[in-house]
Protein backbone atom coordinates (compact mmCIF):
# COMPACT_ATOMS: atom_id res chain seq x y z
CA UNK A 1 0.00 0.00 0.00
CA UNK A 2 2.88 2.34 0.75
CA UNK A 3 4.28 1.73 -2.75
CA UNK A 4 0.90 2.65 -4.25
CA UNK A 5 0.84 5.87 -2.23
CA UNK A 6 4.37 6.79 -3.38
CA UNK A 7 3.47 6.17 -7.02
CA UNK A 8 0.32 8.20 -6.60
CA UNK A 9 2.22 11.14 -5.13
CA UNK A 10 4.81 10.92 -7.91
CA UNK A 11 2.14 11.09 -10.64
CA UNK A 12 0.53 14.13 -9.08
CA UNK A 13 3.77 15.99 -8.38
CA UNK A 14 5.08 15.39 -11.88
CA UNK A 15 2.20 17.56 -13.16
CA UNK A 16 2.08 20.35 -10.58
CA UNK A 17 5.01 20.06 -8.13
CA UNK A 18 3.00 21.74 -5.37
CA UNK A 19 1.18 20.79 -2.13
CA UNK A 20 3.63 17.96 -1.38
CA UNK A 21 3.44 18.74 2.32
CA UNK A 22 -0.33 18.30 2.42
CA UNK A 23 -0.32 15.11 0.35
CA UNK A 24 2.39 13.39 2.39
CA UNK A 25 0.82 14.28 5.74
CA UNK A 26 -2.55 13.08 4.50
CA UNK A 27 -1.10 9.77 3.30
CA UNK A 28 0.85 9.21 6.53
CA UNK A 29 -2.25 9.99 8.57
CA UNK A 30 -4.29 7.43 6.66
CA UNK A 31 -1.57 4.78 6.95
CA UNK A 32 -1.24 5.33 10.69
CA UNK A 33 -4.98 4.93 11.07
CA UNK A 34 -4.82 1.86 8.78
CA UNK A 35 -7.80 3.31 6.93
CA UNK A 36 -7.07 1.43 3.71
CA UNK A 37 -10.57 1.86 2.30
CA UNK A 38 -10.37 5.66 2.55
CA UNK A 39 -6.90 5.62 1.01
CA UNK A 40 -8.19 3.65 -1.98
CA UNK A 41 -11.12 6.05 -2.40
CA UNK A 42 -8.78 9.06 -2.41
CA UNK A 43 -6.53 7.37 -4.97
CA UNK A 44 -9.47 6.63 -7.28
CA UNK A 45 -10.85 10.14 -6.92
CA UNK A 46 -7.37 11.54 -7.54
CA UNK A 47 -6.97 9.60 -10.78
CA UNK A 48 -10.37 10.81 -12.00
CA UNK A 49 -9.74 14.39 -10.93
CA UNK A 50 -6.28 14.33 -12.50
CA UNK A 51 -7.92 14.10 -15.89
CA UNK A 52 -9.89 17.26 -15.15
CA UNK A 53 -7.09 19.23 -13.45
CA UNK A 54 -8.93 19.52 -10.11
CA UNK A 55 -6.83 16.92 -8.29
CA UNK A 56 -5.41 19.08 -5.53
CA UNK A 57 -8.79 20.48 -4.54
CA UNK A 58 -10.05 16.93 -4.00
CA UNK A 59 -6.91 15.90 -2.14
CA UNK A 60 -7.10 18.91 0.19
CA UNK A 61 -10.80 18.31 0.78
CA UNK A 62 -10.19 14.62 1.54
CA UNK A 63 -7.30 15.45 3.84
CA UNK A 64 -9.33 18.05 5.71
CA UNK A 65 -12.18 15.60 6.24
CA UNK A 66 -9.89 12.77 7.36
CA UNK A 67 -7.65 14.84 9.62
CA UNK A 68 -10.29 17.18 10.98
CA UNK A 69 -8.97 20.18 9.07
CA UNK A 70 -5.56 19.93 10.70
CA UNK A 71 -3.43 19.34 7.58
CA UNK A 72 -2.40 22.09 5.17
CA UNK A 73 -4.14 24.94 6.97
CA UNK A 74 -2.53 28.24 7.88
CA UNK A 75 -3.26 31.11 10.21
CA UNK A 76 -5.32 32.80 7.51
CA UNK A 77 -7.79 29.92 7.34
CA UNK A 78 -10.62 29.18 9.68
CA UNK A 79 -13.01 26.31 10.34
CA UNK A 80 -16.64 26.85 9.33
CA UNK A 81 -19.20 25.43 11.73
CA UNK A 82 -18.60 21.88 12.86
CA UNK A 83 -17.89 20.28 9.49
CA UNK A 84 -14.11 20.70 9.96
CA UNK A 85 -13.58 21.83 6.34
CA UNK A 86 -11.36 24.91 6.48
CA UNK A 87 -11.99 27.96 4.32
CA UNK A 88 -9.30 30.17 2.80
CA UNK A 89 -9.24 33.94 3.22
CA UNK A 90 -7.77 36.05 0.44
CA UNK A 91 -7.32 39.83 0.12
CA UNK A 92 -6.76 41.14 -3.40
CA UNK A 93 -6.44 44.66 -4.79
CA UNK A 94 -6.25 46.64 -8.03
CA UNK A 95 -4.10 49.78 -8.11
CA UNK A 96 -3.19 52.19 -10.91
CA UNK A 97 0.17 53.61 -9.81
CA UNK A 98 0.23 56.44 -12.41
CA UNK A 99 3.76 55.53 -13.53
CA UNK A 100 5.15 56.68 -10.21
CA UNK A 101 3.60 60.17 -10.30
CA UNK A 102 1.43 61.49 -7.47
CA UNK A 103 -1.92 63.26 -7.71
CA UNK A 104 -0.19 66.61 -8.21
CA UNK A 105 2.08 65.49 -11.03
CA UNK A 106 5.26 65.09 -8.98
CA UNK A 107 7.43 61.95 -9.27
CA UNK A 108 7.28 59.59 -6.31
CA UNK A 109 9.85 57.26 -4.83
CA UNK A 110 7.81 54.05 -4.88
CA UNK A 111 9.95 52.52 -2.14
CA UNK A 112 8.20 54.89 0.29
CA UNK A 113 4.53 55.29 1.08
CA UNK A 114 3.20 53.58 -2.06
CA UNK A 115 4.97 50.37 -1.08
CA UNK A 116 3.86 50.83 2.54
CA UNK A 117 0.23 50.86 1.41
CA UNK A 118 0.67 47.45 -0.21
CA UNK A 119 2.40 46.02 2.88
CA UNK A 120 0.05 47.49 5.47
CA UNK A 121 -2.97 46.58 3.37
CA UNK A 122 -2.18 42.92 3.86
CA UNK A 123 -2.81 42.09 0.20
CA UNK A 124 -2.15 38.61 -1.16
CA UNK A 125 -2.43 39.49 -4.86
CA UNK A 126 -2.31 42.92 -6.51
CA UNK A 127 -3.00 43.90 -10.13
CA UNK A 128 -1.17 47.06 -11.23
CA UNK A 129 -1.80 49.47 -14.09
CA UNK A 130 0.38 52.22 -15.62
CA UNK A 131 3.67 50.60 -14.67
CA UNK A 132 6.87 51.99 -16.22
CA UNK A 133 10.17 50.20 -16.25
CA UNK A 134 13.58 51.75 -16.93
CA UNK A 135 12.21 55.25 -17.45
CA UNK A 136 14.71 58.04 -16.61
CA UNK A 137 11.97 60.66 -16.81
CA UNK A 138 9.70 59.20 -14.14
CA UNK A 139 11.06 59.88 -10.70
CA UNK A 140 13.73 57.96 -8.86
CA UNK A 141 12.18 54.50 -9.25
CA UNK A 142 13.49 52.70 -12.32
CA UNK A 143 12.34 49.15 -11.62
CA UNK A 144 8.87 49.84 -10.31
CA UNK A 145 7.74 46.22 -10.09
CA UNK A 146 10.72 45.05 -8.04
CA UNK A 147 10.56 48.12 -5.80
CA UNK A 148 6.91 47.52 -4.96
CA UNK A 149 7.36 43.77 -4.53
CA UNK A 150 10.49 43.65 -2.34
CA UNK A 151 10.18 40.80 0.18
CA UNK A 152 6.41 41.11 0.53
CA UNK A 153 5.50 39.64 -2.85
CA UNK A 154 7.96 36.91 -3.87
CA UNK A 155 6.21 36.46 -7.20
CA UNK A 156 6.08 39.46 -9.51
CA UNK A 157 5.66 40.04 -13.22
CA UNK A 158 5.70 42.98 -15.61
CA UNK A 159 3.67 42.83 -18.84
CA UNK A 160 4.85 45.22 -21.53
CA UNK A 161 2.18 46.76 -23.77
CA UNK A 162 4.22 49.50 -25.46
CA UNK A 163 7.42 51.54 -25.37
CA UNK A 164 7.41 55.20 -24.41
CA UNK A 165 10.13 57.84 -24.38
CA UNK A 166 12.14 55.58 -26.69
CA UNK A 167 13.55 53.52 -23.82
CA UNK A 168 10.85 52.98 -21.19
CA UNK A 169 8.59 49.94 -21.12
CA UNK A 170 4.99 50.64 -20.16
CA UNK A 171 2.25 48.26 -19.19
CA UNK A 172 0.73 46.18 -16.39
CA UNK A 173 2.03 44.35 -13.34
CA UNK A 174 1.16 41.51 -11.01
CA UNK A 175 2.33 41.08 -7.41
CA UNK A 176 1.55 37.84 -5.58
CA UNK A 177 2.40 36.00 -2.39
CA UNK A 178 1.51 32.82 -4.25
CA UNK A 179 3.37 31.42 -7.22
CA UNK A 180 1.95 32.64 -10.53
CA UNK A 181 2.51 30.41 -13.56
CA UNK A 182 1.53 30.00 -17.24
CA UNK A 183 1.59 33.67 -18.20
CA UNK A 184 -0.15 34.91 -21.33
CA UNK A 185 -1.19 38.26 -22.69
CA UNK A 186 -3.78 39.11 -25.31
CA UNK A 187 -3.93 42.16 -27.55
CA UNK A 188 -7.31 43.84 -27.19
CA UNK A 189 -9.24 45.54 -30.04
CA UNK A 190 -7.61 48.93 -30.31
CA UNK A 191 -8.05 52.22 -32.14
CA UNK A 192 -4.99 53.03 -34.25
CA UNK A 193 -4.60 56.41 -32.55
CA UNK A 194 -4.67 54.98 -28.99
CA UNK A 195 -2.06 53.34 -26.83
CA UNK A 196 -2.09 49.55 -27.16
CA UNK A 197 -4.33 47.82 -24.63
CA UNK A 198 -3.77 44.28 -23.39
CA UNK A 199 -5.28 41.64 -21.13
CA UNK A 200 -2.81 39.55 -19.12
CA UNK A 201 -3.50 36.07 -17.79
CA UNK A 202 -1.72 34.03 -15.14
CA UNK A 203 -2.63 31.04 -13.01
CA UNK A 204 -2.25 30.92 -9.24
CA UNK A 205 -2.75 27.80 -7.11
CA UNK A 206 -3.92 28.35 -3.52
CA UNK A 207 -4.52 25.26 -1.37
CA UNK A 208 -5.23 23.25 -4.48
CA UNK A 209 -7.59 25.78 -6.05
CA UNK A 210 -6.55 27.03 -9.48
CA UNK A 211 -7.39 30.71 -9.98
CA UNK A 212 -7.00 32.49 -13.30
CA UNK A 213 -5.73 36.02 -12.62
CA UNK A 214 -6.18 38.76 -15.22
CA UNK A 215 -5.00 42.38 -15.32
CA UNK A 216 -6.12 45.04 -17.80
CA UNK A 217 -6.34 48.77 -18.51
CA UNK A 218 -8.93 49.83 -21.06
CA UNK A 219 -9.49 52.57 -23.64
CA UNK A 220 -10.22 56.09 -22.45
CA UNK A 221 -10.93 58.18 -25.56
CA UNK A 222 -12.87 55.89 -27.90
CA UNK A 223 -15.95 54.48 -26.20
CA UNK A 224 -16.82 52.02 -28.96
CA UNK A 225 -13.39 50.40 -28.68
CA UNK A 226 -13.70 50.17 -24.92
CA UNK A 227 -16.95 48.26 -25.45
CA UNK A 228 -15.16 45.90 -27.83
CA UNK A 229 -12.41 45.39 -25.27
CA UNK A 230 -14.93 44.60 -22.54
CA UNK A 231 -16.69 42.14 -24.84
CA UNK A 232 -13.36 40.43 -25.54
CA UNK A 233 -12.74 40.04 -21.81
CA UNK A 234 -16.26 38.75 -21.13
CA UNK A 235 -15.87 36.14 -23.87
CA UNK A 236 -12.56 35.08 -22.34
CA UNK A 237 -14.20 34.65 -18.92
CA UNK A 238 -17.13 32.76 -20.43
CA UNK A 239 -14.68 30.36 -22.06
CA UNK A 240 -13.38 29.31 -18.63
CA UNK A 241 -16.69 27.48 -18.13
CA UNK A 242 -17.09 27.89 -14.39
CA UNK A 243 -13.43 27.91 -13.35
CA UNK A 244 -12.26 30.44 -10.76
CA UNK A 245 -10.97 33.84 -11.84
CA UNK A 246 -10.12 37.37 -10.68
CA UNK A 247 -9.89 40.32 -13.09
CA UNK A 248 -8.10 43.48 -11.94
CA UNK A 249 -8.65 46.56 -14.02
CA UNK A 250 -8.72 50.27 -14.62
CA UNK A 251 -11.75 50.12 -16.91
CA UNK A 252 -12.02 53.85 -17.78
CA UNK A 253 -15.80 53.58 -17.95
CA UNK A 254 -17.88 56.69 -18.63
CA UNK A 255 -20.98 55.18 -16.98
CA UNK A 256 -21.37 52.56 -14.27
CA UNK A 257 -23.84 50.78 -16.53
CA UNK A 258 -20.90 49.68 -18.70
CA UNK A 259 -20.06 47.13 -16.02
CA UNK A 260 -23.36 45.37 -16.70
CA UNK A 261 -21.63 43.37 -19.42
CA UNK A 262 -20.23 41.31 -16.51
CA UNK A 263 -23.59 40.91 -14.77
CA UNK A 264 -23.27 37.11 -14.85
CA UNK A 265 -20.34 37.43 -12.45
CA UNK A 266 -19.54 39.33 -9.24
CA UNK A 267 -18.65 43.00 -9.75
CA UNK A 268 -16.78 44.37 -6.72
CA UNK A 269 -17.13 48.14 -7.25
CA UNK A 270 -20.89 48.54 -7.21
CA UNK A 271 -21.55 45.34 -5.27
CA UNK A 272 -24.89 45.73 -3.50
CA UNK A 273 -25.02 49.15 -5.19
CA UNK A 274 -22.14 50.53 -3.09
CA UNK A 275 -19.69 52.50 -5.24
CA UNK A 276 -16.11 53.55 -4.47
CA UNK A 277 -14.65 56.66 -6.11
CA UNK A 278 -11.16 55.36 -6.72
CA UNK A 279 -10.20 57.98 -9.31
CA UNK A 280 -8.91 60.96 -7.36
CA UNK A 281 -9.28 63.74 -9.94
CA UNK A 282 -12.73 65.05 -9.10
CA UNK A 283 -13.01 67.35 -12.13
CA UNK A 284 -12.66 64.58 -14.70
CA UNK A 285 -16.15 63.09 -14.59
CA UNK A 286 -16.95 59.56 -13.39
CA UNK A 287 -14.64 58.37 -10.64
CA UNK A 288 -15.52 54.67 -10.35
CA UNK A 289 -12.96 53.62 -12.95
CA UNK A 290 -11.30 50.82 -11.00
CA UNK A 291 -12.99 47.47 -10.51
CA UNK A 292 -12.47 43.79 -9.84
CA UNK A 293 -14.56 41.10 -11.53
CA UNK A 294 -14.87 37.73 -9.78
CA UNK A 295 -16.12 34.26 -10.60
CA UNK A 296 -19.23 33.35 -8.64
CA UNK A 297 -17.56 30.73 -6.43
CA UNK A 298 -15.92 33.43 -4.32
CA UNK A 299 -17.67 34.73 -1.23
CA UNK A 300 -17.21 38.47 -0.70
CA UNK A 301 -16.62 39.38 2.95
CA UNK A 302 -15.49 43.01 2.68
CA UNK A 303 -14.87 45.71 0.06
CA UNK A 304 -12.99 48.94 0.69
CA UNK A 305 -10.43 51.32 -0.79
CA UNK A 306 -7.21 52.87 0.47
CA UNK A 307 -7.17 56.55 -0.41
CA UNK A 308 -3.80 57.89 -1.45
CA UNK A 309 -2.52 61.02 -3.14
CA UNK A 310 0.62 59.17 -4.25
CA UNK A 311 -1.24 58.36 -7.48
CA UNK A 312 -4.26 59.74 -9.28
CA UNK A 313 -6.03 56.50 -8.31
CA UNK A 314 -6.66 54.84 -4.97
CA UNK A 315 -6.38 51.11 -4.38
CA UNK A 316 -9.61 49.11 -4.43
CA UNK A 317 -9.55 45.83 -2.53
CA UNK A 318 -11.83 42.95 -1.60
CA UNK A 319 -11.66 40.23 1.05
CA UNK A 320 -12.61 36.86 -0.43
CA UNK A 321 -13.35 33.45 0.94
CA UNK A 322 -13.44 30.06 -0.74
Predicted confidence at residue 133, as pLDDT, reads 78
Q: In this predicted structure, what is the pLDDT of residue 167?
A: 64
Global pTM value: 0.72
DSSP alpha helix (H) spans, the chain? 2-16, 20-32, 36-52, 55-67, 113-120, 144-149, 223-238
Q: Measure the CA–CA gap between 48 and 68, rounded to whole angstroms.
A: 24
Per DSSP, the three-state class of 284 is helix
Distance set, CA 200 to CA 28, 95, 220, 241 (Å): 40, 15, 18, 18
Which residues are CB-contacts of 224 (< 8 A; sequence separation ≥ 6)?
none
Nearest to 189 by CA among 235, 250, 231: 231
d(CA 182, CA 179): 10
What secondary structure letter does DSSP report for 111? T
Secondary structure (3-state) at 77: strand
- Residue ranges for the chain with pLDDT beneath 70: 1-86, 99-100, 102, 104, 109, 111-115, 135-141, 163-167, 282-285
Within its chain, how far is the Cα of 203 from the centroid? 8
Amino acid sequence: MFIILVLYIYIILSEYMVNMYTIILCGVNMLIKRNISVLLIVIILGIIAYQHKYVFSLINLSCDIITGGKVGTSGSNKDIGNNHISRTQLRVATFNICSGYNLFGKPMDLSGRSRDYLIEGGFDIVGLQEVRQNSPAYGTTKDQITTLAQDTFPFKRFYNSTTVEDTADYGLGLLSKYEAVRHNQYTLPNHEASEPRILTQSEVFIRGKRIFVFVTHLEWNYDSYRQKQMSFIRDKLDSLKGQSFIVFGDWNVKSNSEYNIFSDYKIVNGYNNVWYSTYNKTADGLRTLDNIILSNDFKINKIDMIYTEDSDHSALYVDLEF
